[in-house]
Every structure is written in structure tokens, then in C-alpha cells.
Amino acid sequence: MQAAFFVVYRHEGILAYQNVCPHTGAPLEWVPDQFLDASGHYIQCAMHGALFRMSDGFCLQGPCVGQRLTPLPTKICEGELWVKLV
Ligand code: FES
């Protein structure tokens, strides 16, 4: 079963995105919980290799350049991470 969303930890804080590639709507990962490229600096779609900035989900390379992953609101509540699915 594919995850509905995933979370990345950045200097800016915790960011969550829907697990949906803007190119075809496919899930981003083929291997469970593997969302980053080999460098660990970009979110990568396993289907066609699109690369997305972690900080804002903007696609820098691949068939959906200029599009973005869909961000999800997050908050920390009593030590737990809450992600609002929209
Ligand atoms: S489905 Fe993600 S790059 Fe094509």
C-alpha cells in the first residue's frame, strides 16, 4: 500500500507533501519510504526521475519542470506530528 503523504525534515522545519507526482498523478516512490534521490538533497519521483526541491516541492528537473508537489499543513501537538490531509 502506498503512503498518502510523506514528510521531510529541513532547516525550515517539518514539511509534508502528498505522495502524488504532478506529472501523472502516480505515487513518487517504488521502494517504501524512499523519496529522496541518491544525493539526499532532492525528492525524486521513481517513475520518470523528476527532481523536486525539499523546501517547497518545486520541480527542477524532469517532465514536470515548473510544477510543484502539493504541500500539506503540519503542526506539532504534545510532541506528536499532525498532518492535515486536504
Ligand atoms: S510520474 Fe513522476 S516524473 Fe513522471
- pLDDT for residue 12: 76
Q: C-alpha cell of 70?
A: 502539493
Task: Kindly indicate the confidence band of residue 1, based on its pLDDT and cuts at 50, 70 and 90.
Answer: confident
Ligand 1 touching residue 15 (CB < 6 A)? no
Alpha helices, DSSP H, located in the chain: none
On whether the CB atoms of residues 15 and 39 are closer than 8 A, the answer is no
Ligand 1 centre and the CA of 83: distance in Å? 24
Helix, strand, or coil here: 50?
coil
**Ordered domains of the chain (ranges, CATH):** 5-83 (2.102.10.10)
CA separation for the pair 21, 44 (Å, rounded): 9
9 or 36, higher pLDDT: 36
The residue count for the chain: 86
Q: How does pLDDT run across 25-77, given as a tens digit for each residue?
A: 999 999 999 999 999 999 999 999 999 999 999 999 999 999 999 999 999 99
